[in-house]
Structure 1
Amino acid sequence: MSIKVCFLPDNVTIEAEPGEPILQVAERAGVFIATGCLMGSCHACEVELDNEETICACISSIPGDQPELTVNIYDDPTW
């Protein structure tokens, strides 16, 4: 079952598989998510999901419990 993932603010949509790493999905979609440590400690890759949950994209994957997911990428000039 594919999940429709929409990356904001660019409004780029791509199909992804549940369990696929969010960073890989973003890369496939041509969307840049800033990263730092790649371990979830520095929070450079922090994004907000459509349910207003904030996660670190580097250690998170596409959930399989919904048909669509919106990932809002913050624009942080310090990264």
Structure 2
Amino acid sequence: MSVRIRFLPDDVTVDAEVGEALLDVAERAGVFIPTGCLMGSCHACTVELDDGEIIRACITAVPIGRDELVVHLFSDPSW
């Protein structure tokens, strides 16, 4: 099952499979999401979904039951 992932603010769109790691999807799309610990603890990979949910991209997979997922990237100069 394919889900369309849209990364903002650059408006980059890519198709991904349910269960695929969000960081892998971003990398394949040429979108940079900073990482630190790769366990969700350091919050370097924090992104916001269109519905306002805040997630850690390093520990999040493409969810089932959605046709599109809009991911808002943050710009944190410390990362």
TM-score tier by shorter-chain length is over 0.9
Residues 1:60 and 2:43 are matched in the alignment: no
Letter in 2 for 1:20: E
Letter in 1 for 2:31: V
- Counterpart Cα distance in 2 of 1:5 and 1:32: 14
**1:3-18, aligned counterparts within 5 Å?**
3-18=3-18
- Counterpart Cα distance in 1 of 2:5 and 2:64: 11
- Counterpart Cα distance in 1 of 2:64 and 2:18: 5
Aligned residues: 79
SS in 1 for 2:47: strand
What is the CA RMSD across the aligned residues, in angstroms? Answer: 0.5
Residue in structure 2 matched with residue 26 of structure 1 by the alignment: 26
Give 1:51 shift. 1.1
Give 1:27 shift. 0.2
Deviation digits for residues 34-56 of structure 1, max 9, x if unmatched?
00000000000000011110000
SS in 2 for 1:61: coil
For structure 1, list consecutive stretches of 5 or more residues without a partner in the other structure: none
- Counterpart Cα distance in 2 of 1:47 and 1:17: 19
SS in 2 for 1:28: helix
Deviation digits for residues 12-66 of structure 1, max 9, x if unmatched?
0000001100000000000000000000000000000111100000000111111
